[in-house]
Structures are given as structure tokens and as C-alpha cells.
Amino acid sequence: MATTLPKLILDTDPGGDDSLAFLWLLSLVNQGKAELIAVTSADGNVHARLTFVAAAKLLALCGHEAIEVGRGVIGGSEGDAEDAGYIHGADGMGNLSHTLPAIAHSYETARPADEVLIEKLKQAPGEITIVAIGPLTNLAAAEKKSPGVLHLAKEIVIMGGAFAAPGNITPEAEFNIAYDPEAAQLVFATCDNLIVLPLDVTRHVVFTPAMAAQVMEVAPTSPISKFVVDLCQFMVGTALAYRETEGQQGFLVHDASTLAYLFYPETLRFRRGQVEIETEGKWTRGKTLLDNRHAIKLTANAWVATDVDSVNVLALMIEDLKLLVKA
């Protein structure tokens, strides 16, 4: 039976873990397993101008300069939220962007990300999956500009939230949701085609220097493998400094779980539920909530990951990255 390639839009704010997930996706594209329709850079880990450059540089690094990059709608950086440059480096890429190729894209002339999302979704209703691994500002902006457009997505796969796990930007909230909780609230209130990969599972997926070395071993002179090793070295330093990995030499590749769901679904377990976003609480702003009471529930907007086979997620990612650097 013939299969249709998954059509994806990657909404991302690179970001160390975003960068590895991005490279993993490009490996899958190279293998003929997916079609990357567009990339929409998001205002998040660092300012939208920097995430645009980072996304364009990763495409250039892997020979995919022709893929359009949308310019992120400004969200959390206009408010009081603190970005994550202290974790990911001033450029969001471990201060390594200067080592990557020059870009063909221009931030000033790029189309806004919400316009890209609206156009692509309307051109192929029901066919495109959005992989959202940053704050949800772009998606919310698209929905506000063209009400109902997010329903045209086949599904929206989100790395975000924390349910039983503690938050990573506040005690109760995860960064991607808390950086622009109003945007997240709009998306979750509007959509019922959501797949959520929260900290509850992503905190178990730790990429180590030994894993980076496995990637480099197959192509020691590859610029991609050098970037993976250097980025890992930087990210491990900040992960240890901020006690993110319980002392393990590695860093959390949160965003990789979105691709595990799409391409290796046997590595995850889910439950269905109605996810709500707290936007007004003094201590809980950006918190994600699920009703766990044993009572009849008539609504649900999301499948939420509850368990992950982290060993195999990492093994699969490493093997796909090896194919990328050998290409």
C-alpha cells in the first residue's frame, strides 16, 4: 500500500534542544521520510530575530536553504518574561552561530510566521502537521488573524507543559507555555487536534557527550558533526550549572520527543484529556492542568504523553543523525 509522506511545518525557537531536533528532522527529510513545507521561527529562547537566523543557518548547514523561514511574531520578549539565553547562549545556539554558514534568508524581508502558517494550511487542509517546539505565539497569531485556521492542521504536536513534573522556568510552569501563556491558552481553547509532550516525559531524554561522539565518529570532518559535538559541550555546561540533569553529564533534548511521536510512536504512551492553561495566577501563571478526578468528562482537546522509552528515543535519534552527517 502506498504511503504519503508526512508534511510538516516546524515552529521553533533554536535553542540547543531545538537545534538537535531540527537536525534530526532534516535527517528524516533526507531519508525521504518527511516533507518539510516551511519553518516558522518563534520568539522564545532568544529574540525572534536571533531564532530566525538560527533556523536559517541550520537549513544552510544541511543544504536546505530553499525552505522558507517565517519571521517570528513578537510575543514574550515584549513583556516581563525572561528568555533562556542564559541556558542556550546569547545566540540560542551555544554561541556557535558564527561557525555556521552564511544565510540566504533576510529577517527584514521574510514573511511573518503567522502569514506562512495561514497560507500553507489553507493550501493543504487536513494534510500538514505543525511541530511546535517553542512558545505558541505564532500559532495564536495565525488563529487570531484567520479564525479556524488551526483546525486545518492534521494535528499540532507541542513540546510544552508540566503536569506531575515541576516546571523549569517557575516551580509550576514550563518555559514554552509560560513565555506566552495567553498564546498557549488561545491555542488550547481553540483546538482539539493537539499532541502534548510535557516535561513529565522530556526530562528523561538526556543527550550526552558520548552520544555526540558516536555521531562524529562516522564523519569526523563533517561540519554538522562538529556542530553537534560543540553544541553538546556548551549545553552540558549550562545543564549542570542549573541542575537540570541530576548531575548526569548531558543535557535535556526536550524537543526530540515530538519527532519520536511522529516517526517512532512505539516509544511513547499517552492519555486523552482536556488541557487548560493558567494565565492569571500569581505563582501558577503558565501552568498546564489536567483533571484527574474520576468523574465523567465530556470534552478533550489533547493527547498528553505520560511515559517515554528514553533509551530507544536516544538510540534512534543517534542513528538518524549518523545518516545526516554521512550524507
The residues annotated as belonging to the active site are 254
**Residue 325: which residues within 8 A CB-CB, separation 6 or more?**
215, 216, 218, 219, 222, 224, 225, 228
The identity of residue 76, as a single letter, is G
Residue corresponding to grid cell 511541530: 131
- Closest to 143 measured CA to CA, from 160, 162, 130, 133: 130
**Angstrom distances, CA of residue 100 to CA of 40, 65, 261, 318:** 19, 13, 29, 21
User: How large is the C-alpha radius of gyration of the chain?
Assistant: 18
The identity of residue 98, as a single letter, is H
Residue 29: CA count within 13 A, CB half-sphere = 19
